[in-house]
A and B are shown apart, each in its own frame.
Chain A
Amino acid sequence: QSALTQPPSASGSPGQSVAISCTGTSSDVGGYNYVSWYQQHPGKAPKLMIYEVSKRPSGVPDRFSGSKSGNTASLTVSGLQAEDEADYYCSSYAGSNNLFGGGTKLTVL
Chain B
Amino acid sequence: QVQLVESGGGVVQPEKSLRLSCAGSGFTFNKHAMHWVRQAPGKGLEWVALISDDGKRIYYTDSVKGRFTISRDNSKSTLWLQMNGLRTEDTAVYYCTREGFRAVFFDYWGQGTLVTVSS
Report the minimum CB–CB distance from B83 to chain A (whole Å): 18
In the complex, identify which listed stretch (A15-23, A76-84, A88-96) lies at the interface while the others stay far away: A88-96
State in angstroms the CA–CA spacing of A71 and B94 once bound together.
29
Report the minimum CB–CB distance from A6 to chain B (whole Å): 9
Interface size for B (C-beta < 8 A) is: 23
User: Is A69 positioned at the interface, with any CB of B under 8 Å from its CB?
Assistant: no
Do the beta carbons of A38 and B61 come within 8 Å of each other? no
State in angstroms the CA–CA spacing of A100 and B61 once bound together.
12
Do the beta carbons of B45 and A46 come within 8 Å of each other? yes
Which residues on A sit within 8 Å (CB–CB) of B30? none
User: Is A47 positioned at the interface, with any CB of B under 8 Å from its CB?
Assistant: yes
Given known A45-B111, A47-B109, A51-B100, contact A97–B44 (CB-CB < 8 A): no
Q: Which of B50, B110, B112 contacts A98 (CB 8 A)?
A: B50
Q: Which of B47, B100, B106 contacts A97 (CB 8 A)?
A: B47
Report the minimum CB–CB distance from B105 to chain A (whole Å): 4
User: Is B107 positioned at the interface, with any CB of A under 8 Å from its CB?
Assistant: yes
Apart from A38-B106, A48-B108, A100-B47, list 10 A-B contacts with CB within 8 A. A1-B62, A36-B106, A45-B109, A45-B112, A47-B109, A57-B107, A97-B59, A98-B47, A100-B44, A102-B44
| A interface with B by C-beta (< 8 Å) | 1, 3, 32, 34, 36, 38, 40, 45-48, 51-52, 57, 89, 91, 93, 96-103
